[in-house]
Chains A and B, each alone.
Chain A
Amino acid sequence: MLRQETRDAGIAVLLGEGVRKAEERAARYDKAATWAVWSFAGVAIGILAFIIGTIFFRGITTALTPSFVFGKPQAIQAGGGIWPMIVSSFYLAFLTIAIVLPVGVGAAIYMSEFAKEGWITRLVRFGADSLSTVPSVVFGIFGMVIFVIYFGLGYSLLAGALTLTLLNIPTVMRTTEEAMAAVPHSYREASMGLGASRWETVKKIVLPSAMPGITTGTVLTVGRIVGESAAIIYTVGLFVRKIPTSPLQPAAPMAANIWHMYTEGALVSDWMRVANGEAAFLLIVVLVLNLLARLLAKVYQKKLGTKEAR
């Protein structure tokens, strides 16, 4: 009998009061959770906006002055420009990409298409993941010891590019691997079913399909290289004011130069203006590169006929 009563009570709750309460509770929590996640997102955006705002506020007018962008740096007078630094940054990025792309993409092809899952692949992934957690200043010191001193490259763009290659191989490899893993297996089956070898399949089907991902990854890597300072202040140089003409020459890329200006740039009276202007310009470059990455991904997707991003 007791059982019967308990059951009736349960049904009463389910048919009446209980449902209304549950609804109210759900609505309340839903609201609270929405507010919470919204404000966390707000904090993230707020911090970003604050940083970008501050840098632009301090340096945007300088950064957009042609005589500053295309001007020569000054050693002791005020009114210097940053053209050699801009050239150095892109020279360094170009050199690094030229080394890191073949190595990283090649490794990714091996990992995703040829390697059998086993201790080798696990070791490579573990190595890459470990490498990507090493602070960049450590790479800087390593690059100085190995490339600058031991290999005798001296402070040079090449030494910097090799150091940055070590720094960026893990990300290039992993983003490429992910892009290739996102290519449907059915494409590979179709290709090999027609008699294509594994390499032909990679070359003609997998790589073209993975191109949006690889391109985006590459452009973002350029952004990281241009923005990197710790790894290059020990390998490329700091206070060079010449436009570099060979990979074996030292140079002062923007990020390193900003650091130099702030720490020891007091020789020129307007060092603050130069550093802030350079920072704003660097930020613009990185933002443009990020937008370019998105744009390229869209263009490729259109070309491949896949409207939605995979």
Chain B
Amino acid sequence: MTQGNVKLERSPYPYTGQVVIERAATQPNVCDARVKIELRNLGLYYENFKALEDINLHIMCNSITAIIGPSGCGKSTALRSLNRMNELIEGARVEGKVIMDGENIYERDYRVVRLRKRVGMVFQRPNPFPKSIYDNIAFGPRLFGVRERNILDCIIEESLRRAALWDEVKDKLRDSALTLSGGQQQRLCIARVLSVQPEVILLDEPCAALDPIATQRIEDLLSELKNEYTIVTVTHNMQQAARISDFTAFFMIENQGEPGRIVEFGETSKIFTNPDDERTEEYITGRFG
């Protein structure tokens, strides 16, 4: 897992212009522009309830962006809007734009299948299919027409290695994925996402159901993976956000029944040491939420 010859300067936020960086030949996922995804005035309704309002966010390439905030503030909703998973919920409706690589993913003719291949998702509870470890990871590639056994073998080994799971499961690829521990299952889910060569990985509180050691492994893994992917994670764990993320967005609802809004967004180091908004400071220091 080479880092390649691409060095990202950890600077300009707010994003001011297109900074084109050198594309490494070995790393097709490194994108040209610094900004991978831009949320522009995003709002989201469930039926008549407005869950999110006025969300503006820049998600930078090859970085980890953490979304934090108290329960019910729309963190997960915002995350799920990035690969249109909200559409699986009846009555969900979106306004505004989510622009990935210059294209609005909510455009009428935008292909959802391609979007979900490019933007993978890992859920709060590990959700491997009740199939073998091998078939779990082969699921995605098979969807996109990879049939040859040796190619699949390759993809599966590669994905499991990247998810730091290969050594633990290489001798039992035919066993049911449900026999793995919770932490292993979650890494399997990450491997499953990696198997389809995504560009962005969304994680919805990926460690919420895991013990501290499994959590540690996932965090290490994410820090490793950001070299090649753009990562957005929702977390309830302040320390985790501070440890692993490069940028942090703090979401909040003012009062019950109001939509969630972004209070502050910026580099994690700034948000956690010297936030502009006092509500951010209160939340981070544990005074509410």
Binding site for B on A (CB under 8 A): 116-117, 184, 186-197, 200, 204-205, 208-209, 304-306
Contact A192 B85 (CB under 8 A): yes
Residue from A117, A186, A190, A196 having most chain B Cβ neighbours under 10 A: A190
CA distance A304 to B113 in the complex (A): 27
Contact with A along B170-186 (1 / 0, CB 8 A): 00000111110000000
Interface presence of B279 (CB below 8 A): no
Contact B88 A188 (CB under 8 A): yes
Q: Which of A193, A196, A305 contacts B177 (CB 8 A)?
A: A305
Beyond A187-B129, A189-B127, is A195–B144 a contact (Cβ under 8 Å)? yes
Q: Which of A116, A117, A209 contacts B130 (CB 8 A)?
A: A209
Q: Which of A186, A189, A190, A196 contacts B143 (CB 8 A)?
A: A196
Q: Which of B121, B129, B193 contacts A205 (CB 8 A)?
A: B129
Measured CB to CB, the nearest residue on chain A to B142 is: A204
Contact B176 A192 (CB under 8 A): no
Enumerate chain B residues within 8 angstroms of A194, measured Cβ to Cβ: 116-117, 120, 139-140, 143, 192-193, 196
Beyond A194-B116, A304-B130, A305-B177, is A189–B139 a contact (Cβ under 8 Å)? no
Contact B178 A186 (CB under 8 A): no
State which residues 92-125 of B face A: CB under 8 Å: 113-114, 116-117, 120-121, 123, 125
Enumerate chain B residues within 8 angstroms of A191, measured Cβ to Cβ: 129, 139
Contact B90 A304 (CB under 8 A): no
Interface presence of B189 (CB below 8 A): yes
Contact A190 B90 (CB under 8 A): no
Contact B143 A195 (CB under 8 A): yes
Contact A190 B129 (CB under 8 A): yes
Contact A305 B130 (CB under 8 A): yes
Interface presence of B83 (CB below 8 A): yes
> Which 5 pairs, one residue from A and one from B, show the smallest C-beta to C-beta distance?
A305-B176, A186-B127, A304-B130, A195-B117, A305-B178
CA distance A156 to B177 in the complex (A): 49
Enumerate chain B residues within 8 angstroms of A186, measured Cβ to Cβ: 123, 125, 127
Beyond A204-B139, A305-B130, is A192–B116 a contact (Cβ under 8 Å)? yes
Known interface pairs A187-B130, A191-B139; 13 further A-B residue pairs with C-beta atoms within 8 A, sorted by A's residue number: A188-B88, A190-B127, A190-B129, A192-B85, A192-B116, A193-B85, A193-B123, A193-B193, A194-B116, A195-B140, A208-B131, A209-B129, A304-B178
Q: Which of B114, B123, B131 contacts A189 (CB 8 A)?
A: B123
Contact A195 B196 (CB under 8 A): yes
CA distance A186 to B83 in the complex (A): 16
State which residues 120-161 of B face A: CB under 8 Å: 120-121, 123, 125, 127-131, 139-140, 143-144
CA distance A191 to B128 in the complex (A): 10
State which residues 186-206 of B face A: CB under 8 Å: 189, 192-193, 196
What's the minimum C-beta distance from B195 to chain A, rounded to whole angstroms?
Answer: 8
Q: Which of A117, A209, A304 contacts B176 (CB 8 A)?
A: A304
Enumerate chain A residues within 8 angstroms of B113, measured Cβ to Cβ: 195-197
Enumerate chain B residues within 8 angstroms of A305, measured Cβ to Cβ: 130-131, 175-179
17 contacts between A and B (CB under 8 A): A187-B127, A187-B129, A189-B121, A189-B127, A191-B139, A193-B83, A193-B193, A194-B143, A195-B113, A196-B139, A200-B143, A205-B129, A209-B130, A305-B175, A305-B176, A305-B179, A306-B178
What's the minimum C-beta distance from A118 to chain B, rounded to whole angstroms?
Answer: 10
Enumerate chain A residues within 8 angstroms of B123, measured Cβ to Cβ: 186, 189-190, 193
Enumerate chain A residues within 8 angstroms of B144, measured Cβ to Cβ: 195
CA distance A195 to B140 in the complex (A): 8
Measured CB to CB, the nearest residue on chain A to B179 is: A305
CA distance A116 to B89 in the complex (A): 11
Beyond A194-B196, A195-B143, is A116–B125 a contact (Cβ under 8 Å)? no
Residue from B85, B129, B189 having most chain A Cβ neighbours under 10 A: B129
Enumerate chain B residues within 8 angstroms of A193, measured Cβ to Cβ: 83, 85, 116, 120-121, 123, 193
CA distance A205 to B178 in the complex (A): 15
CA distance A286 to B8 in the complex (A): 71
Enumerate chain B residues within 8 angstroms of A184, measured Cβ to Cβ: 127
CA distance A3 to B120 in the complex (A): 67
Measured CB to CB, the nearest residue on chain A to B112 is: A195
Measured CB to CB, the nearest residue on chain A to B127 is: A186
What's the minimum C-beta distance from A201 to chain B, rounded to whole angstroms?
Answer: 10
Contact A190 B85 (CB under 8 A): no
Enumerate chain A residues within 8 angstroms of B140, measured Cβ to Cβ: 194-195
Beyond A194-B116, A194-B196, A195-B196, is A117–B90 a contact (Cβ under 8 Å)? yes
Enumerate chain A residues within 8 angstroms of B143, measured Cβ to Cβ: 194-196, 200
Contact with A along B229-253 (1 / 0, CB 8 A): 0000000000000000000000000
Measured CB to CB, the nearest residue on chain A to B180 is: A305
Enumerate chain A residues within 8 angstroms of B83, measured Cβ to Cβ: 193
CA distance A88 to B71 in the complex (A): 63
Enumerate chain A residues within 8 angstroms of B125, measured Cβ to Cβ: 186
CA distance A192 to B83 in the complex (A): 10
Residue from A188, A196, A205, A208 having most chain B Cβ neighbours under 10 A: A196
CA distance A214 to B189 in the complex (A): 28
Measured CB to CB, the nearest residue on chain A to B111 is: A195
CA distance A145 to B127 in the complex (A): 52
CA distance A191 to B177 in the complex (A): 15
